[in-house]
Structure 1
């Protein structure tokens, strides 16, 4: 029994020694593997393996999508110039009107009285003028007999006649001035368009002395509209007055519209730092409405020949924008400026670059300036 017990103890001891040896070996292998991985990581950081692309000359055409607004080609608010009352309303909201069409008739009884008074003054001054003219004509006829009329009396009569004639002319001018107020009592359309607002009712008191500051009517020309966009400063150098833009509106998402660039501001807005573009849009179908917002695709034609590289080759840090040129298997940071983008390509400017220079395809600030590189074949 004791012999069997001793054999069991001996067997357990041998097993324990074997397991300990295997654990030690496994621990050594794991430690070596970790050291090897750490060395590989350190080497990858110090000598990263990169893929390179050549610098190429080219011209990049692109387009930007920016928000725009549709405005009526012409819009006017119509007010009453003379204090008066609304006598007739001939149109309402949505009415299509034509140039010179009568929209409303106003009434101002005092204007009629002023016209009658001005006409009476003309007759009064004409009577005085005719009398002074007759006196002058008689003196002139009598003065042909020497010694009958002094020269001074003749000149005085002529001056009186001319003064009375001037009074007649002044009275006639006064009548024109008062009569003009009669024309202001008729509100007419200045151009073909649509009445988009009406802010008065029959009998309302309107004019400069009225309580309301709202216009009587607002008329818009909607047959032709202005598509207005503001292009950011960075893209203004590529704008052309011959360009054609495409745009869509939210109300008609399945339809695409086109328009020709007609006007370029030629200056930047001080607040937006952008240049204003205007396109004329013909709206015969009346599908488009003023003040709709549009998504506008503005083409940017290719300019002078530039360097074109993949977007991934341009890195941006907190301090600079740069590409990484490979020179003798070393990384060289080259400062550049971004230009137009199209698809996966981008224009770059500046920097010490030449055609066929090799750039790191996937640039980042983790590849430090001056570090050694391994280039993939």
Structure 2
């Protein structure tokens, strides 16, 4: 019985201490004396480390076009459904708009009437031109007659002066002078009549030219009204063109919210949903929200590795940052970043979720440990279990830096070459002995 007294005493001491006369630390030390765990260690070494940020990633169509109606009418033809591959310019659906087509017929009739008015104005211009020519001809004739009368008047005036001189000398009788005077006065009256004819002809020319100007103005007005009607016809033709809705891009119909016979229009679509959605997915955008801490370090051209839970057995896809928004979203304090990837096989579907690792700094030499060897307490403070030359554990608080997902930079708290316990599910305490396997 005396051989069992030490073990019974030890058990009694453990029970008493567990009841409150000691601390958990003493219990752990007692357990430590009875069991020494085996561990593997890793050393703090200098390695090349590149800073990365790991963020969620979502697949989006490269372009996504929502199809909405521009005109109101009933869907007479629906030529596509979800999953259909379309090319730019392919007809997707047709809207029946009979009232607009009737409006086109009315405008065409109006144009025909305007064209008739143009022809009438053109005829008026031709008539006015003829009247102008006639008035000018009458004017020329009157001027010619005036010239003839001026010559006759000059001759009569000369004869009158000569006859008067002869009468004064007594060579001719007075009656001869009277006859010559009457002839001269007749020629003078004829000249005044010719001058009146010229003035009348000039007035006729002015009137004819005014009529021609008025006819030209009527012609210009008729042509302007015809042009207005033609522009109205072009506008109606544009609206009729909207009735045939075509694919704006190459892609796949990914949504359909319309049925044949539905009444559609800018204000009648239910819940303002688009009729169709066409998405370009032969090339996709991977959108990554980068948090504020890393946003300023991400630039176009940075290497990106993207993995998807949908393809667990496939290697991550590689790409580069194509663009960054250079702006933090207020609600999430993240900056949207996009990566363009070819998707000719259609494997990546819009809406897929993945994980993106962005290399945001060039490689630098740093003291590092595997991330699995670092532990964090309930306050988020990093610590490691250092093993000294006596295989005794020391709990060391450390300060970490860059993290590439596998290795973490140790900024402070450890010396180069220090050995720490590698990944282990056990919790260790200060001064605990361990059995180092490597």
Could you tell me the TM-score, scaled by structure 2's length? Answer: 0.58
On the 8 A contact 1:83/1:206 being kept in 2, the answer is yes
Residue 230 of structure 1 deviates from its aligned partner by 1.3
Instruction: Provide closer, same or farther for how the CA distance between residues 116 and 202 of structure 1 changes in structure 2, counting only shifts above 3 A.
Output: same
Name which of structure 1's ranges 216-225 and 237-246 shifts more when overlaid on structure 2.
Answer: 237-246
User: Which residue of the partner structure matches residue 258 of structure 2?
Assistant: 200
Backbone CA RMSD of aligned residues:
3.8
User: Which residue of the partner structure matches residue 309 of structure 2?
Assistant: 250
| 4+ aligned runs moved over 6 Å, structure 1 | 53-56, 309-313, 315-318
Instruction: Look at both structures and tell me which one has the larger radius of gyration over its CA atoms.
Output: 2
Deviations 1:95-147 (A, max 9, x none): 11111111112211111101111111111111111111221232134324253
Separation in 1, partners of 2:75, 2:112? 33
On the 8 A contact 1:306/1:347 being kept in 2, the answer is no
1:264-275 correspondence to structure 2 within 5 Å = 264-275=324-335
Instruction: Provide closer, same or farther for how the CA distance between residues 127 and 206 of structure 1 changes in structure 2, counting only shifts above 3 A.
Output: same
Instruction: Provide closer, same or farther for how the CA distance between residues 201 and 236 of structure 1 changes in structure 2, counting only shifts above 3 A.
Output: closer
On the 8 A contact 2:86/2:252 being kept in 1, the answer is yes
On the 8 A contact 1:238/1:302 being kept in 2, the answer is no
Separation in 2, partners of 1:289, 1:242? 24
Instruction: Provide closer, same or farther for how the CA distance between residues 211 and 54 of structure 1 changes in structure 2, counting only shifts above 3 A.
Output: closer
The correspondence for 2:59, drawn from 64, 70, 84, is 70
Give SS of 2:313's match. strand
Pairing 1:288–2:351 present: no
The correspondence for 1:223, drawn from 279, 282, 288, is 282
Deviations 1:239-290 (A, max 9, x none): 2322231112222222232222211222322332222211111111111110
User: Which residue of the partner structure matches residue 341 of structure 1?
Assistant: 403
Higher helix share: 2
Residue 93 of structure 1 deviates from its aligned partner by 1.1
Alignment gaps of 5+ in structure 1: 1-33, 35-52, 322-335, 350-355, 363-377
Could you tell me the TM-score, scaled by structure 1's length? Answer: 0.67
Deviations 1:20-75 (A, max 9, x none): xxxxxxxxxxxxxx9xxxxxxxxxxxxxxxxxx9999x974132221011100111
Residue 348 of structure 1 deviates from its aligned partner by 5.4
Instruction: Provide closer, same or farther for how the CA distance between residues 270 and 306 of structure 1 changes in structure 2, counting only shifts above 3 A.
Output: farther
